[in-house]
Amino acid sequence: MTTAEDILLTSSAPPQPPRNRVGDVLAGRYELLEAIGRGGSATVFRARDRRLGRNVALKLAYPSDAKQRARLIREARIGAQLNHPSLMPVLDHGIEGRCVYIVMPFIMGPTLRARVNASRLPWQTAGMYVHQLLVALAVLHGAGVIHRDVKSENCLLSHDLTGDRLILADFGLARVDRSVLVGLPGHQTSQVIASIGYMAPERLDTQGDARVDVYSAGVVLFEALTRKLPFRGEQADVLWQHAEKPPPAPSAFAPVPRVFDELVATAMAKDPRDRFQTVGEFDAALLSVLDVREVEARPTVGVAQVVRALSAWEACDVSRALFEARQAEVCDRRWASFRELLEVVWSAEQRGE
């Protein structure tokens, strides 16, 4: 059966002129109230969900070709399937005429970039924001997803009773390396698309692996500490610096402990083999500098195994889920209760209950 999405993805007709006007109502439900952000091909609106009576963030685009349309639909499906407090969820998405829209929660707080631009952050605060970013990336990588567009503008800050919480958004350039998520192919476009200021040097020649996100997170750490990007200038010059120049030391630009110089240098090493090999490894090194107590410091440890266990459980592969749960407990004993729960399920299955 041909769906509206199938028609849109295969259509080659020129796009209609964008409406993108305050007051428009999409799908008879979402009333556009004000534009709150603009990207390369999309505009984000604060909108009113008339059906549920709440404000939402609505990303609206008129893609110019099938690849752009596919990226938007892919972004919606990734966000809809990943459930974690540090990842932006997708509430709805749809197609109206030539328009593709994605509906997300409306976050009152600023982006990390806006927060950094407003005033210098204490290095402890900057480090904790990047810690939360690395937690989000650990969940993504555990699900087989590489973000590939990590930057401070894609990090939203939500304030609740526990303080500011970083939420990673925008999965439009994400690459799925394993078919863990339902209905998504293993790869995306081969195009080199990224924010130049944050892009790992190998992205010029290859798609890279999860270590491209490690590199970009290192750039975000430098920016959060210094209020500057490590490499600046014309596009060609910035690309050359990423490929050839070591990152400057954050301590040369801000009053931060010199150990951050080593953290940034390792995260942004030119050769991926010289970087932190996982975001969990990066996070462990960062948390040792922040001196956060162990009981609350290492949520990235074991997360990848737990994500795989939950995916296997949803696929009714309880033995595989139990194996991953045991691996998670090896990483961190706090996952023992999760492993015990799966053992009960596995035992019941073996008895045919």
Digit-coded pLDDT (tens) for 71-108: 888 888 888 888 788 899 999 999 888 889 999 999 88
Question: What mean pLDDT comes out for the span 10-31?
Answer: 67
Residue closest to 325 by CA, chosen among 311, 345, 305, 344: 305
May I ask the CATH class of domain 112-297? mainly alpha
Record the pTM. Answer: 0.75
Token pair of 179 as six digits: 């078919």
State the chain's mean pLDDT as an integer: 82
Question: What mean pLDDT comes out for the span 279-301?
Answer: 73
What are the start and end residues of each CATH 1.10.510.10 domain in the chain?
A: 112-297
Q: How many whole angstroms separate alpha carbon 327 and alpha carbon 339?
A: 9
80: Cα separation from own chain's centroid: 13
pLDDT the model gives residue 87: 92
Q: How many whole angstroms separate alpha carbon 188 and alpha carbon 239?
A: 23
Question: What mean pLDDT comes out for the span 139-147?
Answer: 87
Domain 4-105, CATH number (from 3.40.50.300, 3.30.200.20, 3.10.450.200, 3.10.129.10): 3.30.200.20
For residue 314, the number of C-alpha atoms closer than 13 Å in the C-beta half-sphere is: 10
The DSSP-derived string for 197-263 is: GG--GGGGTS---THHHHHHHHHHHHHHHHSS-SS-SSHHHHHHHHHHSPPPPGGGTSS--THHHHH
Task: Kindly list the catalytic residues.
Answer: 149
Question: What mean pLDDT comes out for the span 152-172?
Answer: 83
CA angle 116, 117, 122 (to 5 degrees): 35
Give yes or no for residue 6 having a pLDDT over 60: no
At 49, which helix (H) or strand (E)?
strand 42-49
What are the start and end residues of each CATH 3.30.200.20 domain in the chain?
A: 4-105
Question: What mean pLDDT comes out for the span 12-24?
Answer: 58
Confidence of residue 299 (pLDDT cuts 50, 70, 90): low
pLDDT the model gives residue 215: 97
Residues 53-79: tens digit of each pLDDT: 999 999 998 887 787 788 888 888 888
Residues 170-179: tens digit of each pLDDT: 887 777 765 4
